[in-house]
Amino acid sequence: MPNSIHGHEVMQMMIDSGKSYTKESLEQEMIEKFGSDTTFYTCSAQGMSAKELVDFLEKKGKFFGTDEGFQTSQESICNH
């Protein structure tokens, strides 16, 4: 059975890494860390691929731009 990972775990991974990402580099890191058969979910959506989650988080304004790409912040992670 495939793993299912909450988007908050992905955002925390981004924060912990201290790196900036492109959509492609974030998707690749998600696949490397969680596995290619993993699906992702959030408080309001489920069954997403890595690409779909990245697009979803971007649309929700969870990323901020950096010189090298984008990052997220602890404040962007909802607490419910």
Residue with tokens 């909802």: 78
pLDDT one-digit tens code per residue, 32-58: 999 999 999 998 999 999 999 999 999
Contact 80, 44 (CB under 8 A): no
**Where along the chain do its domains lie?**
4-73
Q: How confident is the model at residue 7 (pLDDT cuts 50, 70, 90)?
A: very high
Integer Cα distance of 33 and 62 in angstroms: 20
| Domain at 4-73, CATH from 3.40.50, 1.10.10, 2.20.25, 3.30.980 | 1.10.10
